[in-house]
Amino acid sequence: MEFSKRFIRFNWLVIILIYLIVVAGSLVRITGSGMGCPDWPKCFGAWIPPTELSELPADYREAFLLKREKKVEKFCRFLNAIGMKETAERIQSDPTVYVEEAFNARKTWTEYLNRLVGFAAGNAMLIAFVWMLVVYRKRKFVLLMLLNLILMGIEGWFGSIVVATNLVPWTITVHLFLALVIIGLQLYLLYSMSASGKEKISLAKPIRWTLLVILAITFYQMFLGTQVREAIDALVKQGFTREQWIERIGMDFFIHRSFSWLVLILLGWMFWKNEKGIKYMKIRWATGLLALELITGVLLAYADMPGLVQTSHLIFASVLFGLLLFASFESKQEVSSSN
């Protein structure tokens, strides 16, 4: 059974909404709005958050801190149950976890809009799952869509943990990992739905292996970049200047920078071989995205251009990851290579 164009297009809408979550999350990060809503899923106890401090009770900070303490306690019990006792103790003994920020309407609504995008993406995934279940009923796709829907629910729950623990750094990294897994599954579903009757793109063995290596490095680079960003945030809080960041971040920054140049060399070689051969369009797109990614990376490291450059850097990396992953699904290795 072939899937309708309408159904496939709707699933492309789902992946766009998932990417918008990444964009919105990055905007939350650069504006410091992660604690704009002290609770979850509601915001200041309401489905539509306040716009003025006068709309909140005088003791709102104490009230929401108490709720957060209970959530942190539950999360730490969960960590203890899965053998992460030291991590649980570190969270509970960290005084910054229990710092309650004052109300800021701009930050509150930035975080609230982030949640609305997540809500839209989650509901779109649910509609796609029900559509598949009722109309097509293909076991493989039903199970994969159900898995991705569950992961989206876990991602939403873990977002509440990120808030409850006051943006403990490693929780942000886990949050990103879950987002990439969801993106990967959705892209696989899209490829599988649209691949019926289509021949795979044949790539020479060196090109295909290079593609897979670049994909693996890009995946790792996103996590390393998150750790570098977390380290910079911590240094800013301690009062260190931009000139002191690189020296104090240490090896993570130099590995992140070195791998960027390695990806550039590998992708440059792959682009050259591709232009001599089949001129596979996704390799061309990936090369352009990497150029933009490196430009924003240089601006972040050496120029005083934070803010939207950070968001652009993450968007380019996320789209590059998705593009390379889709290319890995769409291509196959040539039986005998002449390239």
Q: Domain spans of the chain?
A: 1-196, 199-339
**Triad 298, 314, 332: Cα angle to 5°:** 105
pLDDT at site 78? 83
Rounded average pLDDT over 81-92: 83
Rounded average pLDDT over 103-110: 89
State yes or no: pLDDT of 241 exceeds 70.
no
Counting residues of the chain whose pLDDT is more than 70, the rounded percentage is: 87
Q: What is the pLDDT of residues 282-303, one digit of tens each?
A: 999 999 998 888 888 777 766 6
Residue 191 is encoded by which pair of tokens? 């490829």
Task: Please state, rounded to an integer, the average pLDDT across all residues of the chain.
Answer: 84
pLDDT at site 15? 96
Q: Of 16-20, 109-113, 221-225, 300-304, which gets the smallest average pLDDT? A: 300-304
Query: Is 0.95 topped by the overall pTM?
Result: no
pLDDT at site 158? 82
Name the DSSP letter for residue 240. Answer: -
d(CA 222, CA 176): 8
d(CA 304, CA 187): 35
Q: What is the pLDDT of residues 41-68, one digit of tens each?
A: 788 888 888 888 888 888 888 888 787 7
Q: What is the pLDDT of residues 121-164, one digit of tens each?
A: 999 999 999 999 999 989 999 999 999 999 999 888 887 777 66
pLDDT at site 144? 96
Residue 188 is encoded by which pair of tokens? 């696989």
Comparing CA positions, the residue from 190, 179, 191 lying closest to residue 317 is 179
State yes or no: pLDDT of 305 exceeds 60.
no
User: Residue 52: is it exposed, middle or buried by C-beta count within 10 angstroms (0-12/13-18/19+)?
Assistant: exposed
Q: Of 17-21, 75-79, 152-156, which gets the smallest average pLDDT? A: 75-79
- β-pairing verdict for 331-333 and 201-203: parallel
Rounded average pLDDT over 209-235: 82
State yes or no: pLDDT of 339 exceeds 50.
no
Rounded average pLDDT over 11-25: 92
